[in-house]
Amino acid sequence: MIQNKKPTKDISKDDIDNKLFKVCNKKTKRLVKINNKITFGNGDLNIIAGPNGVESKKLIHKTASFLNRLGVKILRGHVFKPLTFPYRSSQYSESGVKGLEWLKEVRSEYDMTIVSEITELQYLDKMLNTIDILQIGTRNMQNFELVREVARSKKPIILKRHFGSSLRDLLGVAEHILYEGNYKLILCERGISAPHTHRETSRYLLDIQAIPALRELTNFPIISDPSHASFWAPWVPSLAYASVAAGVDGLIIETHPNPSKSKVDPLQPLNFNTFKKVFKNIKSLKRLTKKF
């Protein structure tokens, strides 16, 4: 786990000359096929949506059913979760193995592909049965032992950039994953620390520039998470549209049937009505950006 906040060193010509990026480079086209319905990197825009945490069976069924009706194929929800502070309120506890069971149910009932975060190696075996894409969160980006072992499982991975990391550090971790022989890698920009985030509640700054910058360095799919970047639902639509215009292969957007009741980060999920509108707009925008 890394705690640094200052951006770390950028990629230099020496890094390239020293062949630090043997696999994570522009030499080969990189498609990440998850299953028969979903591939990242083929020009599709894959939307990953759902609540922050899998809080209850009811919540996850309600959300999966809504998303499925809308045509969203990938559901997110965490059953294990790093919290910034150690004080878990009485209303919040990880749903853990129980949550995995609920995810398994909705996976088959609504034919959803599931994304969930792995926080510790002890959960890996349990998650492998149910989870289609394992997320390595910002706080664990440089937890190399976790990263390497998850890579060895050969499961598709979403690797989130730490909020204080340079692209050099992010791609260094990517190189570790590829070195283990796992090429099912999706890179995620989710906001960086900056002195000004415009509003007390907006925790991070979505680094839109990272999207073309990563494109210049690697052919692996790139997605963006405007929900965690802004921490503020009213800004999520604009940041989602900006990410699409910048050419992402997918988006992570938090949605919850009753955002103010969300047990963690209640300011950031979109309610179902707003999500529906944003999803429609994203699809129109994607059609337009095909001409770019």
CB of 228 to Mn ion, least distance (A): 6
* Contact range with Mn ion by CB under 5 A, out of 9-17, 49-57, 178-186, 237-245: 49-57
Map 170-201 to HEC letters.
HHHHHHHHHHCCCCCEEEEECCECCCCCCCCC
In one-letter notation, the amino acid at residue 32 is: V
Residue number, 183 or 204, with CB nearest to ligand PEP: 204
Alpha-carbon distance of 227 to 221, in angstroms, equals 19
* Residue 272 neighbours by CB under 8 Å, 6+ apart: 66, 255, 257
Return the closest-CA partner of residue 265 out of 78, 57, 53, 66. 53
Which of 138, 202, 224, 268 binds ligand PEP (CB under 6 A)? It is: 138
| Cβ 247 vs Cβ 208: under 8 Å | no
Q: Is 202 in the site for ligand PEP (CB under 6 A)?
A: no
Draw the binding track, 159-198, toward ligand PEP (x: CB under 6 A; -: no contact).
-x-----------------------------x--------
Residue number, 4 or 28, with CB nearest to ligand PEP: 4
Residue number, 52 or 230, with CB nearest to Mn ion: 52
DSSP string, 117-179: E---GGGHHHHHTT-SEEEE-GGGTT-HHHHHHHHHTT--EEEEPPTT--HHHHHHHHHHHHH
The binder of 138, among Mn ion, ligand PEP, none, by C-beta within 5 to 8 A per type, is ligand PEP
| Cβ 221 vs Cβ 41: under 8 Å | yes
Residue number, 31 or 92, with CB nearest to ligand PEP: 92
Given the structure tokens 């925008």, which residue do they identify? 285
* Contact range with ligand PEP by CB under 6 A, out of 6-14, 95-103, 136-144, 243-251: 136-144
Which of 73, 78, 155, 263 binds ligand PEP (CB under 6 A)? It is: 78
CB of 161 to Mn ion, least distance (A): 15
How many positions of this chain bind ligand PEP (CB under 6 A)? 10
| Cβ 232 vs Cβ 201: under 8 Å | yes
What are the distances in angstroms from CA 82 to CA 67, 79, 98, 106?
Answer: 25, 10, 17, 24
Q: Is 137 in the site for ligand PEP (CB under 6 A)?
A: yes
* Residue 137 neighbours by CB under 8 Å, 6+ apart: 82, 117, 119, 160
> What residue number has its CB nearest to ligand PEP?
137
The binder of 107, among ligand PEP, Mn ion, none, by C-beta within 5 to 8 A per type, is none
List for the chain the helix, strand, coil content (%; round to 5). 40, 15, 45
CB of 274 to Mn ion, least distance (A): 18
Draw the binding track, 258-277, toward ligand PEP (x: CB under 6 A; -: no contact).
--------------------
Q: Is 52 in the site for Mn ion (CB under 5 A)?
A: yes
Which residues sit at the interface with ligand PEP, rule CB under 6 A? Answer: 52, 78, 117, 137-139, 160, 190, 225, 228
